[in-house]
Structure 1
Amino acid sequence: MSTEIKAPVFPESVADGTIATWHKQVGEPIARDEVICDIETDKVVLEVVAPADGQLVQIVKDEGDTVLSSEVIAQFEAGAVAAPQEKRVEEEVAHTQAGAAPVVERQPVQDQAPAVRKALTETGIEASDVQGTGRGGRITKEDVVNHQTVAPATTPLSVAVGERIEKRVPMTRLRKRVAERLLSATQQTAMLTTFNEVNMKPIMDLRQQYKDVFEKRHGVRLGFMSFFVKAVTEALKRYPAVNASIDGDDIVYHGFYDIGVAVSSERGLVVPILRDTDRMSYSEVESNIRGYAAKARDGKLSIEEMSGGTFTITNGGTFGSLLSTPILNQPQTGILGMHKIQERPMAVNGEVVILPMMYLALSYDHRMIDGKEAVGFLVTVKELLEEPAKLILDL
């Protein structure tokens, strides 16, 4: 008797999802708690696991299909299943013993699973050319991928100036959602960016002096982000408009400091939130950021960890950017852009000195924040970073 496999219950902020990948096909043996499918939402990728040992008997939703919360996506049958490869070998042995050569069945393309038909169509590979390893000699998606690796079927679009290949792939839901939010921010806000620069030498000297003791005491490396998070938190206290958001015709002033830290992942840009940064120690900031970065790489960030936030920090310097204009993360009204630390000649007390400098960029919604407040906020961040003693001593 088969049971229904349903999509997870989505949070209220997530309307639907898309079937990203079927890891198992109909008839393949599946172990309990093994991942059978990935569902991609606007914010995270959710895994669907097998409720017991068994096999899929029907895939209701194909890759690329939209699914709603708790919607049926497949039919599952519990029970022990012989491994496809073992069963095929047994059939071949029995056939050989009967005096005939082993025969491998080749299923017509129309008889294949939806994901397999899609893979065959996209690659241009004929079903008859693929060695099936699935149940009864059926072709799996992995068979198509493996065949393409051994004998690529991609045809050059033009040979006039050599091989010119194009690859068309659908945009992921996360990438589409990021694009929509960025476009909305540029169209629906009066976004403006102001710049300043900060001398990073005081923080670099402090970090060099105490990094070993800090790591030994707290079990985490002392980076630059904790200084920026604490400096931004203090500046937000002094300029509450930068920590506010616009909701329709209302201004919402937040009495807490939840700072989002933009993290790049293979699936796109994600922004996990550090909650109540005014109550966090430097080691807690560093530990949380590193934990979020690891989760982002593995696609394990939860929706709750990326929801909310009153201000955002993004670090383009990680990739070598010297200067940029970050785009607002609505409904927030401010975002700080960090950049590459670059040694430059600077005038100090009438003398030219080589110093490690960083450009800072504050993008803000001019509907909410006046230029005076924006510049004051950024100057405060600069001063606190250049005199970290004031930051640590709360001066």
Structure 2
Amino acid sequence: MAVEVKVPTLGESVSEATVATWFKKPGDRVAVDEMLCELETDKVTVEVPSPVAGTLVEIVAAEGSSVGVNALLALIGEGDADATEKTVSKAEAAPGTGEGKMIDVNVPTLGESVSEATVSTWFKKPGDTVAQDEMLCELETDKVSVEVPSPAAGVLAEIIAPEGTTVAANARLAVISEGGEGKAPAKSDKKDDKPAESDKAEKAEAVGSPGAGPEETKARKDVEDAPSAKKAMAEAGISRDQVSGSGKDGRVMKEDVAKAASAPAPSAPAPAPRGPVSADDAGREERVKMTRLRQTIARRLKDAQNTAAMLTTYNEVDMKAIMDLRNEYKDAFEKKHKVKLGFMSFFVKACTHALKEVPEVNAEIDGTDVVYKNYVHMGVAVGTPNGLVVPVVRDADQMGFAAIEKKIGELGLRARDGKLSMAEMQGGSFTISNGGVYGSLMSSPILNPPQSGILGMHKIQDRPVVIGGQIVIRPMMYLALSYDHRIVDGKGAVTFLVRVKEALEDPRRLLMDL
């Protein structure tokens, strides 16, 4: 027997809410009073508990849906019935898969602020035998690639979301016949596979942006925006004035932020149309669709230019002291700590030291507030075959040289293998980007919103410099600090860069906290 989960009473004068977060997915076991989902109203956040113990059979109102009081949210199957089996009756008739139990393969949790992904590659086709935890397909999100393993051993009975399909979190990807044997006849080319109409509708319900359209240009009331919307605006580097609220009295909801983030900047001119191409040239061109990661990189970099008042200040540093220190201690350092001593740990330590003196470079804008952070989560830009990613070394200001080197090495390896989690790339407060590894002599790095500062490292090159009235050859590096001039003044930016230079040219200053 299925028990209905409905929207509870929301309070006086509150008639509707938005489904903000589901903590469970269809097929999950739930206990009595265990939290199923969270609703957001104009005034408060409301948690919805399970009225019975059982299995979550169906989610009726997906995240982002606007629901009224007493509206149906979900269905709970009482007892020990397996909800997953109940929802895949149509797949049980799949030919050539044996008599095994049918198990759904769903989109895994994609991470905070990530609501959808694109199916990039299927490694198996219907009828193939699969082992438990064997990789079935790969999904591409805005930030990373996610591999989807098989939940059981058996046969791939059906692919519901073919390559190129956009899927929401927890959407169905395929069906596995557990313990099934044999190979089903090959289907037509994967590109011709299309999800059933019911699945299309299910996807549209999960990914769509329900709710009333933005209110017309009437006077905006002093309303409290949804907490999830505030967080999304901070992450996307979008100000409140750039978003049109679709909630009650113009309240900004999470989907409004997503819409504003994907919209082109009003002041940006439309891309120029592609010029005529001769038939001969057209035959020698290759057109490849941008990956979601590359699209996101392009959008975020352009948003940073459109949103922040970005300036760059430059300096140069004599690397001789660090190079001498590194050469003297690198063998003993590696022997004791089992990790090589590189240059990056010196730059991380120098930056964390300078951020204490100039805290606005480690801050961010949230609406009309400036958020100063009493910690340093250092982002370290890493180039991968799929594009630039920025894993975060958390609490770098509390770490020693060895711990920093180990963490950067670990994150760099995971980045190149496409194994970074969402959590490892979120929450950075400042970023270091090393273009010098590619031979860059001078560049202006672009901010990583909502951060207010990024340091660019460059190639070390022997150059003549004047020291004590004498011209000598020294290993020199140009440094560039890009900063958000809305909260960082020129004096603060220059002071920060000078402190980094001083610490690198005389590393003893780091030990003496000078």
TM-score surpassing 0.5?
Answer: yes
1:20 partnered with 2:101: no
Q: Does the 8 Å CA contact 1:261/1:312 hold for their aligned counterparts?
A: yes
Question: Per-residue CA shift, 1:28-85, capped at 9, x if unaligned?
Answer: 121111000111111121111112222222111111111111001112112253479x
The equivalences for 1:202-351 within 5 A come to 202-351=321-470
Q: Which amino acid in 1 is paired with 2:120?
A: A
Give the Å deviation of 1:229: 0.1
SS of the residue corresponding to residue 157 of structure 2 reads strand
1:55-94 to 2 correspondences below 5 Å: 55-82=155-182
Deviations 1:189-240 (A, max 9, x none): 1000000000000000000000000000000000000000000000000001
Instruction: Name the SS for the 1:226 alignment partner.
Output: helix
The answer to whether structure 1 residue 114 and structure 2 residue 233 are counterparts is no
SS of the residue corresponding to residue 312 of structure 1 reads: strand
Aligned counterparts of 1:258 and 1:68: Cα–Cα separation in 2: 30
Paired residues of 2:430 and 2:452 also in contact (CA < 8 A): yes
Q: Which residue identity lines up with residue 378 of structure 2 in the other structure?
A: I
Question: What is the CA-CA distance between 1:3 and the residue it aligns to?
Answer: 2.1
Which gives a bigger RCO, structure 1 or 2 (Cα 8 Å, sep 6+)?
A: 1
Counterpart-to-counterpart distance in 1, 2:152 and 2:115: 28
Q: Which residue of 1 aligns with 2:69?
A: none
Matching residue within 280, 293, 305 for 1:174 = 293
Q: Partner letter of residue 329 of structure 1?
A: N
Query: Structure 1's 256 and 363: CA in aligned 2 closer, same or farther, altered over 3 A?
Result: same
Counterpart of 1:89 in structure 2 is none
CA distance in 2, matches of 1:264, 1:2: 41
Matched residue, 1:195: 314
Q: Work out which of the residue numbers 11, 17, 34 in structure 1 matches 2:134.
A: 34
Distance in 1, Cα, partners of 2:401 & 2:119: 40
Partner of 1:171: helix, strand, or coil? coil
Q: Which one of 476, 483, 486 corresponds to residue 367 of structure 1?
A: 486
- Matched-pair contact (CA < 8 Å) for 1:25–1:113: no
Distance across 1 between alignment mates of 2:182 and 2:325 = 63
In the alignment of these two chains, the number of paired residues is: 332
Quick one: distance in 2 between partners of 1:83 and 1:71?
A: 25
- Secondary structure of 2:483's counterpart equals strand
**Comparing both structures, which one devotes a greater share of its residues to helix?**
1
Q: Distance in 2 between matches of 1:189 and 1:12?
A: 24
Q: Which residue of 1 aligns with 2:78?
A: none
Offset of residue 356 of structure 1: 0.3
- For residues 201 and 283 of structure 1, the distance between their equivalents in structure 2, rounded to whole angstroms, comes to 21
What residue in structure 1 maps to residue 253 of structure 2? Answer: none
Deviation at 1:175, TM superposition (A): 0.9
Distance 2:403 2:192 in 1: 47
Separation in 1, partners of 2:112, 2:334 = 40
**2:295 maps to amino acid:** K
Aligned pairs (5 A) from 1:136-155: none
**CA deviation map 1:157-180 (0-9, x unaligned):** 97869x962211111111111111
Are the counterparts in 2 of residues 262 and 312 from structure 1 also a CA contact under 8 Å? yes
Q: Partner residue of 2:32?
A: none
Which residue of structure 2 lines up, in the alignment, with residue 152 of structure 1?
Answer: none
Deviations 1:245-296 (A, max 9, x none): 0111110000111110000111111111111111101000000000011101
Distance (Å, rounded) in 2 between the aligned partners of 1:9 and 1:328:
28
Q: Structure 2-normalised TM-score?
A: 0.62
Contact 2:152 2:176 in 1 (8 A): no
Q: Which shifted more, 353-362 or 271-280?
A: 271-280
Deviates more, 1:288-297 or 1:70-79: 70-79
Deviations 1:284-337 (A, max 9, x none): 000000001110111100000101111000000010000000000000000000
Q: In 2, distance between residues paired with 1:263 and 1:211?
A: 23
Match in the other structure for 1:51:
151
* Secondary structure at 2:124 match in 1: coil
- For the 8 Å contact 1:26–1:113, the answer to whether it is kept is no
RMSD: 2.0
- Unpaired runs of 5+ residues, structure 1, are 85-104, 119-156
One-letter amino acid matched to 1:165: R
1:380 lines up with 2:499 in the alignment: yes
Q: What amino acid maps onto 2:490 in structure 1?
A: G
Cα distance between partner residues in 2 of 1:305 and 1:12: 11
Contact kept, 8 Å, 2:333 with 2:339, in 1: the verdict is yes
> What is the aligned-residue identity percentage?
53
Counterpart CA distance in 2 for 1:11 and 1:44 is: 10
Q: Which amino acid aligns with 1:287?
A: K
What letter matches 1:114 in structure 2?
K
Output the TM-score relative to the length of structure 1. Answer: 0.81
